[in-house]
């Protein structure tokens, strides 16, 4: 029988402690709302604080005249897949929100002059965020001044609980893998993306898509899940280091082990290698929308053919280090601190999973359509479409973190807590994990633990090879079947009784569900558009000028619908 260790009551449960979770928690606390912030790792974590990158940027609207131009930039890159209302809110409010970084302990340094962000056609002010350890220290200090703000680290949310037509709380697994029940008036999910479902990714391990499953099972919808950013990452000399694509302006070629160009065989007539590299230097993620797409396709096609995941060597020119523009020097100096020199060292790169453009469907206040449930940050569909315009994701954490808090304050003031009994909580856990034979397999704990890790690693491998830059129907279909085999091999309930590794079992369960959702979404979109590339459907198709929505029925069937909304 499942035993609940303790019960906690709070006004709002915030899940996730990246920029969006930090912003919304402080905004709520400032309004005397009682907040419990739960984070899988430590405070100030997730993609916002990934250690192997030099900085994050925020793109800011210049002036009133720039608002329409900025909206046009977003719309053009979205390929019809973004939400205009969300983009309009961002463009209007980011100039004020960027001033509030200092309030949450983040130093945002404005770059000298103006610069085009990734994919942007027009120059704007860019603010750089860096020094994650200092930010974490600042956040702890700021949060420590609030009596109405509590933090639980190394804790995950197992499931949300709904009663009387709204979210009423959640069940947690604390740092000791024991069950904690939370009664809350509202829940704000800020859990980030799902990059770690891929074998090679540029995310911390806690960016695992758990929030997507929580939201979906609570009745929210997902949208645009097939649009996933893949960006080149450094494999050598330091694995999982963020690659500065702007340095490709000073690159002559990308070559294989034998020193042969991998780009030459893929370039169409009329596009030179230097032109391709120069275009590729203007954006980090892969996109089908630009002719630089052959750079990433060449890498992944070679990897699929050879199973060589060590990456490909870049041939740089010496003048790279003569560029004294701040955008270059910040990155190059950061690499030097890690003993990486792009000209003197052997530099290899490969495609890494980075960020999700889609997510939980929300309105302009982060509301999900489920009473009492909000989603913000990378977890939400946000302002992006088929491509993600650089410098908007960090700013969106601030904009929609503020707006979600504003609405949530009003919601909590007119809402009472609903009692959740221990029996109700226990029954929900047992239903989730299919407990049939209590005590079964207790002597096989090590074997089951090994099996769980095999399932997780198997999913990561399958996703990286079949849900990457190069996709086709055969590969996606076979990947789904392989995931189903892994699912059938794992007896969830038998392992979950083993307290020591409950969190790994939760991750395996979420990965099994999320991987099938992602692969099916990729399969359903039979075209290439933005971050989505299908080798068997290499062009945009007018009949797919709709977004793909994902929902769960009462009998837990996952449904997929293309809708023009």
Cα–Cα distance between 174 and 170 in angstroms, integer? 12
- What was the pLDDT predicted at 540? 97
3-state SS assignment for residue 9: strand
- What was the pLDDT predicted at 93? 98
Provide, rounded to the nearest whole percent, the portion of the chain with pLDDT above 70.
96
pLDDT tens readout for residues 227-254:
999 999 999 999 999 899 999 999 999 9
pLDDT tens readout for residues 308-343:
899 999 999 999 999 988 888 889 999 999 999 999
pLDDT tens readout for residues 163-190:
999 999 999 999 999 999 999 999 999 9
431: Cα within 13 Å, side-chain hemisphere: 11
Residue with tokens 């509590």: 150
Lowest-pLDDT range of 96-105, 193-202, 215-224, 420-429: 420-429
pLDDT at 52 over 80: no
pLDDT tens readout for residues 276-294:
999 999 999 999 999 999 9
β-bridge mates for residue 15, sequence order: 38, 189
Q: Which helix (H) or strand (E) holds 68?
A: helix 64-78
Cα–Cα distance between 274 and 45 in angstroms, integer? 38
Closest CA to 193 of 19, 429, 367, 369: 19
3-state SS assignment for residue 398: helix
SS (H, E, C) 221-241: CEECCCCEEEEEEEEECCCCE
**Mean pLDDT value of segment 435-452:** 62
β-bridge mates for residue 363, sequence order: none
523: Cα within 13 Å, side-chain hemisphere: 18
Angle at which helices 473-488 and 502-524 cross, to 10°: 150
Sorting pLDDT into bands at 50, 70 and 90, what band is 437? Answer: very low
Sorting pLDDT into bands at 50, 70 and 90, what band is 534? Answer: very high
171: Cα within 13 Å, side-chain hemisphere: 26
Sorting pLDDT into bands at 50, 70 and 90, what band is 497? Answer: low
Residue 10, φ and ψ in degrees, nearest 5: -155, 165
pLDDT tens readout for residues 131-144:
888 999 999 999 99
3-state SS assignment for residue 483: helix
Calculate ∠ Cα 29-32-38, nearest 5°: 35
Lowest-pLDDT range of 75-84, 117-126, 246-255, 373-382: 117-126
How far does Cα 10 stand from its chain's mean position? 27
Residue 294, φ and ψ in degrees, nearest 5: -65, -25
How far does Cα 155 stand from its chain's mean position? 19
- What was the pLDDT predicted at 448? 76
Domains within the chain, CATH numbers bracketed = 231-351 (3.90.700), 434-538 (1.20.58.100)
Lowest-pLDDT range of 145-149, 381-385, 521-525: 381-385
314: Cα within 13 Å, side-chain hemisphere: 30
- What was the pLDDT predicted at 115? 82
Cα–Cα distance between 193 and 205 in angstroms, integer? 11
Read off the tokens for 388: 């993600």
3-state SS assignment for residue 403: helix
Cα–Cα distance between 464 and 459 in angstroms, integer? 9
SS (H, E, C) 311-375: CEEEEECHHHHHCCCHHHHHHHHHHHHCCCCCCCCCCEEEEEEEEECCEECCCCCCECCCCCEEE
Sorting pLDDT into bands at 50, 70 and 90, what band is 128? Answer: confident
Average model confidence (pLDDT) for the chain?
A: 93
Look up the pTM and report it.
0.95
Lowest-pLDDT range of 218-222, 304-308, 517-521: 304-308
SS (H, E, C) 458-471: HHHHHHHHHCCCCE
């Amino acid at each position: 029988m499942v035993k609940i260790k303790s019960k906690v009551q709070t006004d709002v449960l915030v899940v996730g402690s990246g920029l969006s979770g930090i912003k919304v928690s402080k905004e709520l606390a400032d309004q005397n709302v009682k907040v419990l912030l739960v984070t899988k790792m430590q405070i100030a974590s997730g993609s916002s604080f990934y250690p192997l990158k030099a900085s994050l940027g925020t793109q800011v609207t210049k002036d009133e005249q720039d608002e329409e131009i900025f909206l046009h930039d977003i719309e053009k890159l979205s390929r019809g897949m973004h939400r205009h209302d969300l983009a309009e809110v961002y463009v209007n409010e980011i100039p004020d929100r960027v001033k509030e970084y200092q309030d949450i302990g983040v130093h945002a340094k404005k770059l000298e002059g103006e610069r085009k962000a990734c994919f942007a056609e027009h120059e704007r002010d860019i603010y750089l965020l860096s020094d994650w350890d200092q930010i974490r220290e600042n956040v702890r200090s700021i949060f420590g001044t609030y009596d109405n703000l509590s933090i639980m680290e190394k804790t995950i949310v197992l499931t949300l609980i709904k009663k009387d037509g709204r979210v009423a709380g959640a069940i947690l697994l604390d740092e000791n893998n024991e069950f904690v029940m939370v009664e809350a008036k509202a829940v704000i999910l800020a859990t980030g993306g799902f990059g770690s479902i891929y074998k090679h990714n540029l995310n911390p391990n806690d960016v695992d898509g758990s929030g997507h499953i929580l939201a979906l099972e609570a009745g929210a919808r997902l949208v645009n899940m097939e649009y996933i950013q893949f960006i080149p990452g450094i494999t050598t000399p330091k694995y999982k280091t963020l690659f500065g694509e702007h340095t490709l302006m000073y690159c002559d070629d990308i070559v294989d082990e034998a020193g042969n160009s991998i780009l030459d065989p893929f370039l169409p007539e009329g596009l030179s290698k230097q032109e391709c590299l120069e275009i590729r230097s203007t954006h980090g993620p892969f996109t089908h929308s630009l002719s630089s797409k052959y750079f990433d396709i060449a890498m992944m096609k070679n990897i699929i053919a050879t199973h060589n995941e060590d990456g490909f060597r870049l041939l740089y020119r010496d003048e790279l280090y003569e560029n004294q523009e701040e955008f270059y020097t910040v990155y190059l100096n950061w690499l030097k601190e890690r003993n990486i020199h792009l000209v003197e060292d052997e530099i290899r790169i490969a495609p890494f999973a980075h960020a999700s453009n889609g997510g939980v469907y929300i309105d302009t206040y982060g509301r999900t359509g489920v009473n009492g449930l909000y989603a913000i940050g990378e977890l939400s569909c946000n302002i992006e479409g088929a491509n993600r315009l650089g410098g908007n994701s960090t700013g969106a954490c601030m904009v929609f973190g503020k707006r979600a808090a504003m609405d949530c304050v009003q919601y909590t003031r007119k809402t009472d807590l609903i009692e959740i009994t221990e029996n109700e909580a226990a029954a929900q856990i047992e239903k989730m994990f299919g407990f049939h034979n209590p005590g079964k397999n207790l002597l096989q704990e090590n074997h089951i633990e090994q099996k769980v890790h095999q399932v997780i690693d198997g999913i990561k491998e399958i996703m990286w090879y079949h849900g990457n830059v190069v996709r086709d129907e055969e590969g996606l279909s076979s990947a789904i079947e392989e995931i189903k085999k892994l699912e059938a091999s794992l007896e969830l309930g038998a392992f979950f009784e083993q307290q020591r590794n409950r969190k790994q079992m939760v991750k395996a369960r979420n990965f099994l569900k999320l991987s099938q959702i992602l692969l099916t979404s990729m399969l359903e979109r039979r075209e290439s558009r933005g971050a989505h590339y299908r080798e068997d459907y290499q062009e945009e198709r007018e009949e797919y000028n709709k977004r793909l929505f994902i929902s769960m029925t009462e009998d837990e069937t996952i449904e997929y619908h293309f809708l023009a909304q």
